[in-house]
């Protein structure tokens, strides 16, 4: 990456808009920096074989966030080619599977209420194709669709916008930083491994895109 390219990419990051896949160098093992709008930044440990994260979770309001629409990003963006499988981050039941203009093809999975008594859902957006319908039970790691760039907000860049919604006390279900919920612990991005049981009764997620070695299986 040359200097001008770096500056151009930094411009994209600062403007907190859409980060082109070119800004991440190679497509695996990279995790974007957090925006300064995030108060409690999580140290992210990214496996070298995991498709890169191009944008982290952001919410406006903390640290006097400017509150413009672009200061919100209620999930993480994972970049890979159109058609890359998108897989369920945890077992559950599909509660929505539809297409709309802004986020394109969307799948929502409800993971029920875990041992702590809290409900969780995961949301997958900009899909090229949807492989599941509302009502379908899915296993962890099951293909639910393919990565794409559908919807105006995808800005024509192939990526998965992935959200985790979790019940917070009496305040209902709200988007939270997905890095809080990896099976290997906070910030420890966990590739899906079919050989390994990730369920311990509490809500835990694995990466919603296959890591390189499992994709080759």
Per CB under 5 A, residues contacting Zn ion are 77, 161
To the nearest whole angstrom, how small is the minimum distance from the Cβ of residue 181 to Zn ion? 17
To the nearest whole angstrom, how small is the minimum distance from the Cβ of residue 82 to Zn ion? 16
Residue given tokens 């390994």 in the structure block: 196
To the nearest whole angstrom, how small is the minimum distance from the Cβ of residue 76 to Zn ion? 7
Residue nearest to Zn ion (CB): 161
Relative to beta strand 119-127, strand 159-167 is antiparallel
To the nearest whole angstrom, how small is the minimum distance from the Cβ of residue 1 to Zn ion? 22
In the bound state with Zn ion, the residue whose beta carbon lies nearer, of 125 and 198, is: 125
In the bound state with Zn ion, the residue whose beta carbon lies nearer, of 42 and 198, is: 42
In the bound state with Zn ion, the residue whose beta carbon lies nearer, of 45 and 157, is: 157
């Amino acid at each position: 990456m040359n200097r001008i390219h770096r500056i151009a990419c930094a411009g994209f990051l600062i403007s907190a808009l859409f980060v082109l896949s070119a800004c991440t160098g190679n497509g695996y093992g990279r995790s974007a920096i957090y925006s300064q709008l995030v108060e409690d930044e999580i140290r992210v440990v990214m496996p070298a074989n995991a498709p890169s994260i191009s944008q982290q979770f952001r919410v406006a309001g903390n640290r006097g966030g400017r509150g413009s629409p672009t200061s919100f990003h209620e999930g993480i963006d994972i970049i890979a080619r159109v058609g890359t499988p998108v897989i369920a981050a945890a077992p559950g039941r599909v509660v929505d599977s539809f297409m709309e203009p802004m986020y394109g093809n969307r799948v929502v999975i409800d993971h029920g209420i875990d041992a702590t008594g809290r409900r969780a859902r995961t949301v997958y957006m900009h899909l090229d194709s949807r492989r599941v319908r509302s009502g379908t039970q899915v296993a962890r790691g099951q293909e639910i669709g393919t990565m794409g760039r559908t919807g105006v907000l995808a800005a024509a860049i192939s990526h998965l916008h992935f959200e985790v919604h979790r019940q917070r006390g009496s305040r209902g279900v709200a988007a939270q930083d997905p890095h809080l919920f990896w099976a290997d612990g906070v910030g420890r991005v966990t590739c899906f491994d079919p050989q390994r049981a990730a369920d311990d009764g509490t809500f835990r997620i694995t990466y919603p895109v296959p890591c390189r070695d499992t994709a080759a299986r």
